[in-house]
Structure 1
Amino acid sequence: MSHEVRWGILGCARIARLQVVPAILRCDRARLGAVASRDPARLAEFRSLFGEFTGHASYEALLDDPSIDAVYLPLPNSLHCAWAIRAMRAGKHVLCEKPLALDAGEAEEMIRTARECGVLLMEAFMYRYTERLAKVEEILASGVLGPIRSVNSTFRFFLDRVNTIKEQPGLGGGALYDVGCYPLNLIGLVAGAEPEAVAVECTRRHGVNVNLSAVLRYADGLVATLHCGFDAFGRNYSEIVGTDGALLVPDTFLDDAGQLTLLTGTETRQIAVPKSDRYGEEIRDFSTAIQEKRTPRLTLDESLRNMRVLDRIRGALHG
């Protein structure tokens, strides 16, 4: 495929308007081709912001549009599986917002469909495309920390919007799905395995978890803690501790400029990280993967592993 990848957007979600569509417009490998919404006013708003594209009055019409190569799916979590499968069966590559699905069974069905249809499917963990994460991976690969014994990762914010899907259990709401999947993904990146044991505590509001902590114990001696929520002051931070050193990662899941702190023996090093374009790089990688017929950065095996651990956290939560 030599042309720009032509993107279709299923719905006019806030993240599409604020982040993903602008990222598509910034990318020289991508082009905004179509947006689907039942609300003409939302389509008009998108057109005023982003210029010309084909407007479709239904998701089905967008999936039937032969000019569209790839679909970005920012729908509520409960709709990810059904619409991703419909898109892939229509021959579209799919970038699906995190979490990929509600459970591992749905994820397996989505992955199976992607392979049967010969299209790409990726979970949209945009933080994996930052210079901050690249530096974290470089330090881990260097072995300077020694065998990893502890990971502590937190992502929370204060949710001040009312009537949001984030607090609707029927739509896959709750802090674990919304922001807890980020620390879980980081822990999985470090551990490279599934835990032996899981313990969870949480508080609920409107039928969903809004303040949750989980402890994960792994066979190699690693113990990881995950914290997430949206009922209190925002925190976005991680630390990775090995036998020979520790790495402190403020703003773990953001792409702002900042610094990491590496502690080894009696030495403390501050490591600068530049500002990144996490959404732009995500769109570029996925678009290029389509063009080059290769696997994008985040693999389906990793997403499925994380989904299985997410299931275990949810199982401990309801047990």
Structure 2
Amino acid sequence: MVFALLSRVYSAFGPPKVEKQKDGIIRFGILGAAQIAPLAIITPAINHPEVIIQAVAARDRKRAEEFAKKHGIPDVHDSYQAILDDPNIDAIFIPLPNSLHFEWAVRSIRAGKHVLLEKPSVNTAAEAEILFNLPELKGPNPPVLLEAFHNRFHPALQKFLSFIDHENVAHVHTDSMVPAWMTDKDNIGYNYKMGGGGMMMMGTYNFGMLRLIFGTEPQECTSCTVNTFEDGVHDQCDIDFKAQFRFPGGAIGEAETTMRGGLLWKPSEARVTHREVIVPDSALPASQEKARTRTATLHGFIHAVMWHRIDVRDEYVIRNKKDGSVVRKWTENNSYKAYSFKEAVESGGENAEQFKGFPGEVWWMSYRYQLEAFVNKVKGRPTQFWVSGEDSLNQMKMLDMAYLKSGLGLRPTSSFR
């Protein structure tokens, strides 16, 4: 088990190089020498035969040059706009501070470039409304725009969702964390003007999971408590939060995140409790019925390549219909993993065959699965999973809902148009 973990992680962060195709290559330009860029696009591109990271630009050219040298990027441009003006660049990766996402995504789309946009896509739903409804995205061959919710493309998350009955979900709890040593007060994640805040940085993953699990949108944020640095400088950005949402039918979704967690990393968790449902069973006499109450838990829904586990607990009862008296009760516990879609099939469970033939290796990170989908969309090929513009807009509406309820208010909206 330990060897498998080490081998998987080693290959994930140092994937085998593949020969690049001579024709049809997608050349990416990166706006900003961001820390997330190697994980999110540079490393996955090493193993993709149709992707080359061609250029980078940063506010400081020297920093961009050092970044390019370290990561083997051929071209360094003087400005973000210079990358957009480069006819050799097909696609743009935007890992800039949140407050700059809207402007540079719009500029990139208007320049005719495909865009892979770090999450959260923008600062507010007002920005999302404009961005995802740009006229340039409505034509016959529009640029591809994808909010980089990488974890949605991993087989572990998709297999977990195969155990969920959206209509009968009663309660969902999600939590995630970042150890305190990974961020300090000067991190842009605590800069309000840059669109900072724990809900923006990590909580958006939790919110996205709630929406996926319920298969619909929240009607209300019923509560949202936050903690901030009470120093008069960073007090508009949450360092941790607990939020509760009411979904259609009275179902409740909870999300909590801390950016100042303990020393050791705790995997993110999504725990789903279903309402009792009647399960058809032809072996029972007509006077009896079989009922099931399911709890499904995904440990590690953000970075599943490191480690994850899907636990499914089904509590069954057979009872007499006439008086409700119990004939028999029992519990079935099963656990699953899905580091690849092949493994998602082989590990069994409900609807496992739906993943048959999907691409991937056990060491593919969620970012590599995401890049596969992005390239397929650009090439006009089928994609198994996607994050639509409508999906991204609804995600921002949920973030706005929580920030308003918290009392911290919305993140600043860009004046760029």
TM-score range for the pair, normalised by the shorter chain length: over 0.9
- Could you tell me which of 264, 267, 292 is aligned with 2:314? 264
Instruction: Report which of the two structures shows the higher radius of gyration computed on alpha carbons.
Output: 2
2:37 alignment partner in structure 1: 16
1:134 pairs with 2:158: yes
Are 1:201 and 2:225 matched, yes or no? Answer: yes
CA contact (8 A) 1:30 1:284 kept: no
Structure 1: 4+ residue segments shifted above 3 A: 293-296
Per the alignment, in what secondary structure is the counterpart of residue 305 of structure 1?
helix
- Cα deviations across residues 271-292 of structure 1 (Å, max 9, x unaligned)? 1232542111111211110011
* Alignment equivalent of 1:252, drawn from 301, 306, 313: 301
Of 206, 228, 231, the match for 2:257: 228
CA distance in 1, matches of 2:80, 2:29: 10
Aligned to 1:119: 143
Q: Partner of 2:280 in structure 1? A: none
User: How far apart are 1:293 and its partner, in Å?
Assistant: 6.6
Shift of 1:137: 2.0
Gaps of 5+ in 2: 1-22, 276-292, 316-330, 340-361, 410-417
DSSP 3-state at the match of 1:273: coil
The secondary structure found in structure 2 opposite 1:194 is coil
Give the TM-score of the pair, scaled to structure 1.
0.93
Give % identity.
27
Displacement of 1:52 after TM fit? 4.2
Q: Any conservation in 2 of the 1:29–1:284 contact (CA below 8 Å)?
A: no
1:93 to 2:117 alignment: no
- 2:357 maps to 1:292: no
Paired with 1:18 and 1:42, the residues of 2 have a C-alpha distance of: 18
Q: Is the 8 A contact 1:17 1:46 kept in 2?
A: no
Tell me by how many angstroms 1:197 deviates.
2.2
Residue in 2 that maps onto 1:188: 211
Separation in 1, partners of 2:378, 2:158: 22
**Is the partner of 1:292 in helix, strand or coil?**
coil
Q: Is the 8 A contact 1:216 1:224 kept in 2?
A: yes
CA-atom RMSD in angstroms: 1.9
- Does residue 315 (structure 1) correspond to residue 364 (structure 2)? The answer is no
Unaligned runs of 5+ in 1: none
Q: Which residue is 1:102 aligned to?
A: 123
Structure with a larger share of its residues in strand: 1
1:303 equivalent in alignment to 2:353: no
d(CA) in 2 for partners of 1:183, 1:56: 36
Tell me, in whole angstroms, the C-alpha distance in 2 between the residues paired with 1:120 and 1:94.
6
Q: CA deviation at 1:36?
A: 1.1
1:74 and 1:175 map into 2 onto residues whose CA distance is 17
The aligned residue for residue 342 of structure 2 is: none
Of the candidates 181, 194, 205, which is equivalent to residue 171 of structure 1? 194
Q: Distance in 2 between matches of 1:181 and 1:262?
A: 25
The alignment partner of 2:176 has SS state of strand
